[in-house]
Amino acid sequence: MATYVISDLHGQYKMFLKLLKKVTFSDTDELYMLGDAVDRGPDGIKILQHVMNSDNMHFLLGNHEVMMLEVLDRSGVAKSEMSSYRGLEAERWLTWNGGDKTYNKYKRLKKEERVQLMNWLYSCPLSIKTEVNKKIFLLTHTAFLADMIDVPFKEIGEREVNYIVWNSPFRPDLYKDIRDYIYFKPWTFIIGHVPACYMADIVYGEGEHELSSFTVENVIDIDGGCASGGKDNKASRGAILLRLDDMKEFTMSFAEYESEKK
């Protein structure tokens, strides 16, 4: 039995399946997904349903799922025309952040499927504390509040939700002080939200870096940059799967994925 963590797949469902096959993921293993399964890429809804229907998979909301829930009705209502959704929240999700791809797949679901999906998302937490081999991990999309760990989304206030899913030690515009994470050592924080390759560009210079996580102190960023859709630097963008038992990383870059399709 092994415990894996992945984040920020942004609709790359087929890549996700290939990566699970690569590690021979089985029913005895466990997977935590740290949000941003949806938007930008084609099959975010399929990723959500896959995790929802798997007994050994757990989902934590990211900012893209939160944007989705800010716009869509929990009752599962789906307007036929996307343009019917108006206002800043709708524009932010559907136009600026690639939510149109998610919505076009969401509205094709049967009403009962939409209701099931919405109820499940409302029950998901934003952060989880777990122990593997006597080591404590705090899993979250990006930020955290100590009193909101293991609490479902539906029980957290809007202000706290937005803080947890947007602020990051790797975003100067929405900065969460790295010292907030260091304070909880020896815990290890596994996060996403900001592509690790962006941080590598800052440290090592822009270019084709190897697809891998980025670590500062006790914070490990495993966002592989799937949001790019493979439009640039395909060797350093893709999905990162981290095995917590031994901290080994398994990756599927867009370059590798496309070569396997040929």
Q: Are 105 and 113 in contact (CB under 8 A)?
A: no
Strand locations in the chain, DSSP E? 3-6, 30-33, 57-59, 127-132, 135-140, 188-191, 214-216, 219-221, 238-243, 248-253
**Interval 69-84 mean pLDDT:** 95
pLDDT above 80 (res 87): yes
Say how far apart CA 67 and CA 39 lie, in whole Å: 10
H or E element that contains 160 = helix 158-166
7-33 pLDDT, tens per residue? 999 999 999 999 999 999 999 999 999
Between 36 and 208, the more confident residue is 36
Using one digit for the tens of pLDDT, what is the confidence trace for 207-231?
Answer: 667 899 999 999 999 999 999 998 9
- As a whole number of angstroms, the distance between CA 118 and CA 123 comes to 9
* pLDDT for 123 beyond 70: yes
Task: Give residue 206's pLDDT band: very low, low, confident or very high (50, 70, 90).
Answer: low
Upstream peptide bond of 195 is cis (omega within 30 degrees of 0): no
End-to-end CA gap in the chain: 33
**What does the pLDDT read at residue 254?**
96
Burial of 108 (0-12, 13-18, 19+ CB in 10 A): exposed
Strands in 238-243's sheet, in edge-to-edge order, are 57-59, 30-33, 3-6, 238-243, 248-253
What the chain holds in terms of domains, given with CATH numbers, is 3-69+126-261 (3.60.21.10)
Comparing C-alpha atoms, which of 17, 109, 10 is closest to residue 54? 17
- Yes or no: say if 34 and 244 are a contact pair by the CB < 8 Å rule: no
b/e map of 140-169 (b: 16 or more CB within 10 Å)?
Answer: bbbbbbeebbebebeebeeeebbbbbbbbb
**Could you tell me the pTM of the whole model?**
0.97
Q: Tell me: pLDDT of 242 over 80.
A: yes
Residue 153, pLDDT above cutoff 70:
yes
Over 70: is that where the pLDDT of 99 sits? yes
**Per-residue pLDDT for 97 more than 80?**
yes
The predicted structure's pLDDT at residue 262: 58
